[in-house]
Amino acid sequence: MTVILGLKGIDHAVLASDTLEIRGPNEGKYRQLSHKLQRINDTWGIGVAGSLDGLQIVRDFGEEKIEGLSNIPKVAVNELAHRMLDAYNQKGFRGEAWFLLAGLDPWRNQPFLWMWDFKKEHREVKMSGPREVPSGNAIGACNHGALYFAKEFQRDTMSLEQNMLIGFHCVAEVAKHDVRVDRPIDVLVVTPSRVTIYPESQLLEFVSRSREITATISSCFSAEGLKLPPTE
C-alpha cells in the first residue's frame, strides 16, 4: 500500500508520497525503499499506488515530453491515461494500480490534479477515469484519518512552502499508524518553471516543523486547567 496526497496552490501543485514497497505473498513479504513520484511529459508530475506494474508503466513512459499529445491539458491527460492502459494490457500486467497526476494549465495559468485507476475485469484491465479532482485528494491509503489536516486546513491561496508542509505532515502521520506506509517521504513540486522532487533528506526544516505541529497538538490535550462542571 501507499499514500500519495495531491495539493494545489495559486501557481503550483504538490504531491507528497511515502516510499515503502512491499513485495512477496502474505506469508513472506519483503519491505524495501521505492520512489513512487516521477516527472512525466516534461512539465507534469505523477504518483502511483497499488501494483508495482503501474510504477513500471510510468517509468517506461519516461520523464521527457511525450510526442503526439494534445496541447489542451485535459485532452492530453486523457490521451496519456489511455496510452498507459494500452501499454498495460500489451505487457500482460494485471495488478490494480492508481495514478495521481499534477500539472499546470498554461492556458488558464492554474494547477490541476487528475486521477485514474486500472482494475482487472475478466481477461483484461480496464480503466476508471481519468477525472479531475480537487486539492486534498489522495490515492492508496486515501481514507486514513491523518489526511484530515489537508481537508481541514489547506487552502488554494497557500504558498508553496505551506502546501509542502501540509503534504509532508499528512504523509508522516499516516506512516506512524499504517504498517503499509513508511518514511522517508518524497515531495514533488510542479511550478511554471520546473518539476522538482525533494527527498526527505533535503527537507529537514519541514521535518522539524511537522514534529512541532504534533507536539503542539499533543500539548493541547493536556487538559491543564480544565474542570468538570458542577453536579447537583
Q: What is the pLDDT of residues 126-173, one digit of tens each?
A: 999 999 999 999 999 999 999 999 999 999 899 999 999 999 999 999
pLDDT at 56: 95
Contact 116, 99 (CB under 8 A): yes
Contact 181, 174 (CB under 8 A): yes
Q: pLDDT tens digit string along 49-71?
A: 999 999 999 999 999 999 999 99
3-class state of residue 151 by DSSP? helix
Q: How far apart are CA 97 and CA 141, in angstroms?
A: 13
Q: How confident is the model at residue 10 (pLDDT cuts 50, 70, 90)?
A: very high
Residue 90 β-bridge partners: none
Average pLDDT of the residues in 118-133: 93
Q: What is the pTM of this model?
A: 0.94
Task: Give burial (CB, 10 Å; 0-12/13-18/19+) of 80.
Answer: buried
Q: How far apart are CA 39 and CA 87, in angstroms?
A: 19
Cβ neighbors of 145 (< 8 A, separation 6 or more) are: none
Strands (E), the chain: 3-8, 13-17, 20-23, 30-33, 37-40, 44-50, 97-105, 110-121, 124-132, 138-140, 186-190, 195-199
Q: How far apart are CA 57 and CA 61, in angstroms?
A: 6
Average pLDDT of the residues in 91-113: 94
With a pLDDT cut of 70, the percent of the chain lying above it is: 98
In the chain, where the domains are located? 3-218
Q: How confident is the model at residue 231 (pLDDT cuts 50, 70, 90)?
A: confident
Asked if the model's pLDDT at residue 28 lies above 60, the reply is no
Asked if the model's pLDDT at residue 26 lies above 80, the reply is no
pLDDT at 35: 96
Q: How far apart are CA 76 and CA 88, in angstroms?
A: 18
Return the minimum-mean-pLDDT range out of 21-35, 104-118, 190-204.
21-35
Q: Which CATH fold topology does 3-218 show?
A: Glutamine Phosphoribosylpyrophosphate, subunit 1, domain 1 (3.60.20)
Contact 102, 15 (CB under 8 A): yes
Q: How confident is the model at residue 213 (pLDDT cuts 50, 70, 90)?
A: very high
Asked if the model's pLDDT at residue 3 lies above 90, the reply is yes
Q: How confident is the model at residue 25 (pLDDT cuts 50, 70, 90)?
A: low
